[in-house]
Amino acid sequence: MDIITTIDLTKKFNDFTAVDHISFSIKKGEIFGFLGPNGAGKTTTIKMLTTLLYPTEGSATLSDFDIIKERDDVRQKIGVVFQEPALDTELTGKENLDFHARMYGLSKDKRKNRINDVLQLVDLVEKKDVLVKNYSGGMKRRLEIARGLMHYPTVLFLDEPTLGLDSQTRRAIWEYIKKMNKEEDTTIFLTTHYMDEADYLCDRVGIIDKGKILVIDTIQNLKNSVGNDVITLSCSELDKFTKRLEKEDWIKNIKRHDLHLTLGVEKGEEKIPAIFEIAHKLKIKIKSISVRKPTLDDVFLHFTGRTMRDFEPESPMKEMAKFYNRRR
């Protein structure tokens, strides 16, 4: 059964199309992930599905309620953890949770239990009476997630849930999300930049870029579409080599990226000698080569022509590396 269905869902901000006629559906009880670079339209999609933004065009239903005409009904069914902070910083952590619990109609006993539970989960018990404005960034994030997990919605939206958290907390939250999904049959719609997160949590993922969904499938199927194995190599005369390799029909696909070639093949280990042979004939020197199982990164590269890392501007070291590579 489908719990969310969208038809040509579109959002324009003035002339700019942030979400461009996307149609997809999500099954009840699954963990679905949206994977995409900055500005792909993930948050905008979530905001439309959670009734915070009006679609410019198209429509969607959630639990059979129309997101435009039956907004109050839709809101009965959902929980959201926003990407951007949505806490009242003038209240304490506990007061924020209490506010949420009351807004969602939890009874007195339940309120107390749930608040304690989730505070424990995110390890904020000691800080519960501190004003949120005195929390660190990570603590705020943890509180926010705790709040989102407090009531049991039919569909839980998590917009980049673990962004900026340490790995231990991430793990704990992943486990909790899985548990919630299993025990409460909560459908989970998450967005993420982290391939490992999507890999670990999601039953199916959709890759979204520039407001369009490029592909939706189970992670296994997506990986299979790249090839059983992935060979990555770097060499001299990359263009020439690429042209030559394109003639080989045992290579399922070739992607060039920066100074690397990525080949999707079957039985990768057995193909390495063949590659060397071809290189040798062309007098091309292979500098490095590796074989591995495909990851979501490869899937992403395959469908968008870029890797997820290309979009991350954060690391100055990477900028330097690029500069250095270019000069060589």
Partner 1 sequence: MMGREFQAIYVMWLRQMKRFVRAKSRIVASIVQPLFFLFILGSGFRVATFEGVSGDYLHFLAPGIITMAIMFSSMFTGVSVLWDKQFGFLQEVLVAPIKRTSIILGRTLGGATTALLQGFIILIISIALGVRIPDIFGFILMLIMMVLISFTAVGFGLIIATKMNDFQGFQIIMNLIIMPLFFLSSAFFPISESLPAWLKAISFANPLFYMVDGMRGSLTGANNVFPPLVDFLVVFFVCIVMMSLGSYFFSKSEA
Ligand X SMILES: Nc1ncnc2c1ncn2[C@@H]1O[C@H](COP(=O)(O)OP(=O)(O)OP(=O)(O)O)[C@@H](O)[C@H]1O
Q: Under the rule (CB under 8 A), what is the footprint of partner 1?
A: 47, 50-54, 72, 75-76, 78, 80, 82, 84-91, 95, 98-100, 102-105, 147
Minimum CB separation of residue 89 from partner 1 in Å reads 7
Q: Which does 250 bind (CB under 5 to 8 A by kind): ligand X, Mg ion, partner 1, none?
A: none
Q: Which is nearer to Mg ion, 159 or 298 (CB)?
A: 159
Minimum CB separation of residue 69 from partner 1 in Å reads 14
Minimum CB separation of residue 160 from Mg ion in Å reads 6
If we measure between CA atoms, which residue out of 73, 56, 68 comes closest to residue 22? Answer: 56
Candidates 36, 148, 206, 264: give the one binding ligand X (CB under 6 A).
Answer: 36
Cα dihedral across residues 101, 107, 108, 112: positive or negative: negative
Which span sits near ligand X by CB under 6 A: 37-45, 64-72, 92-100, 136-144?
A: 37-45
Residues between 43 and 102 with contacts to ligand X, criterion CB under 6 A: 43-44, 83
Minimum CB separation of residue 16 from ligand X in Å reads 6
Beta-carbon contacts of residue 10 (< 8 Å; ≥ 6 apart)? 17, 19, 20, 21, 22, 55, 56, 57, 58
Cα separation, 49 vs 189, in Å, equals: 11
- Three-point CA angle 166, 170, 175, nearest 5°: 155
Q: Which is nearer to ligand X, 207 or 222 (CB)?
A: 207
- Residue 311 interacts with Mg ion (CB under 5 A)? no
Q: Which does 104 bind (CB under 5 to 8 A by kind): Mg ion, ligand X, partner 1, none?
A: partner 1
Candidates 3, 4, 9, 18: give the one binding ligand X (CB under 6 A).
Answer: 18
Q: Which is nearer to partner 1, 71 or 257 (CB)?
A: 71
Token representation of residue 228: 């059983």
Angular region, 259: left φ>0, alpha ψ -120 to 50, beta rest: alpha
Q: Which is nearer to partner 1, 11 or 302 (CB)?
A: 11
Candidates 6, 17, 43, 307: give the one binding Mg ion (CB under 5 A).
Answer: 43
- Residue 83 interacts with Mg ion (CB under 5 A)? yes
Minimum CB separation of residue 173 from ligand X in Å reads 18
If we measure between CA atoms, which residue out of 273, 269, 274, 282 comes closest to residue 241? Answer: 282
* Site of interaction with Mg ion (CB under 5 A): 42-43, 83
